[in-house]
Amino acid sequence: MEYILITNDINIASYAQDCGVHRIMVDLEIKGKYERQKHLNTLISNHTIQDVERIRRVLDISKLQVRINPIDNETIDEIRAVTNIGADYIMLPMFTSVYEVQTFISLINKNAKSSLLLETPQAMVRIDEIMKIDGIDEIHVGLNDLHIGLKLDFMFELLSGGIVEYLSNKIHHNSIKFGFGGIARLKNGLGLVDPALILSEHYRLNSEIVILSRDFFAGTTNYKDFRKVMDLKKEINDLNQYYNSLHELSQTELMINKEKLNSLINQVIKKRD
């Protein structure tokens, strides 16, 4: 399992790579994001291209991932800028069409790994045609915006409703790397459902990538406070140990975990009715 941490703080990024975080993501996506998520308690970043440069300089183990804005007339300049800096992965959000993905892959031109953030109903419906495009290195299913687009009550309903499994099966059939969503801390985290059960679904669905949620920052906004409250190495070790223990479970036991997760998700939905 590869872990991604979103930050533009060079000290947090350097510490995170020492703790075993595989990728540091600088999040340049801002266009249209406030309008989509203004009614939700979500984090909208203010990262800049200068942050990409600063983070690149401190990484020598972890990979640098950059989420760009959705395709528009400025995409060519945005991709050129982040590839010139040396991004290892470039992530495209909010795509809806084959044409947008083709444009994205063409503009990267193999200068970085291509990561598709599948988070629109249109992309979900068109997934078979999208995966015919050469040059897709991975597809990450974004639960937050996809559940908004489908007008669901809770983002993990995409797990209980079988949507993530449906996409996982299709993506793996095309031999493309697959991941989904984010994960909270295993112990004393703030997630609405048990993150251990979510990690169990990652294992069952052969997910290889997950984003460490803002729960890992424990409400802090700077490196000094972050280090006071967060032992990131321990948290990563906890995730790894639990994930490795899942190898010992049978498919029946993994399905029992799935049903437990579904029950918790349904409880959250009922409370929101």
Is the domain 2-272 a CATH 3.20.20.60 member? Answer: yes
Alpha helices in the chain (DSSP H): 10-18, 33-37, 49-58, 75-85, 98-108, 121-125, 127-130, 143-149, 157-160, 163-173, 195-204, 223-229, 232-245, 251-272
Cα separation, 260 vs 223, whole angstroms: 36
Percentage above 90 pLDDT, the chain: 90
Which residues are CB-neighbours of 214 under 8 A, at least 6 positions away? 43
Q: How high is the pLDDT of residue 192?
A: 82
Confidence of residue 33 (pLDDT cuts 50, 70, 90): low
Cα separation, 14 vs 256, whole angstroms: 39
Number of Cβ within a 10 Å radius of residue 155: 20
Q: How high is the pLDDT of residue 112?
A: 98
pLDDT in tens, 175-191: 999 999 999 999 876 67
Q: Provide the whole-model pTM.
A: 0.94
pLDDT tops 60 at residue 45: yes
pLDDT tops 60 at residue 42: no
pLDDT in tens, 127-158: 999 999 999 999 999 999 999 999 999 999 99
Confidence of residue 111 (pLDDT cuts 50, 70, 90): very high
pLDDT in tens, 235-257: 999 999 999 999 999 999 999 99
Tokens of 17: 């790579």
Interstrand relation of 63-67 and 89-92 (parallel, antiparallel or unpaired): parallel
Residue with tokens 């020492």: 18
* Cα angle: 20, vertex 146, 77; to 5 degrees: 70
pLDDT tops 60 at residue 37: no
Domain residue extents for the chain: 2-272
Tokens of 82: 């982040």
Q: What is the DSSP letter of 70?
A: P
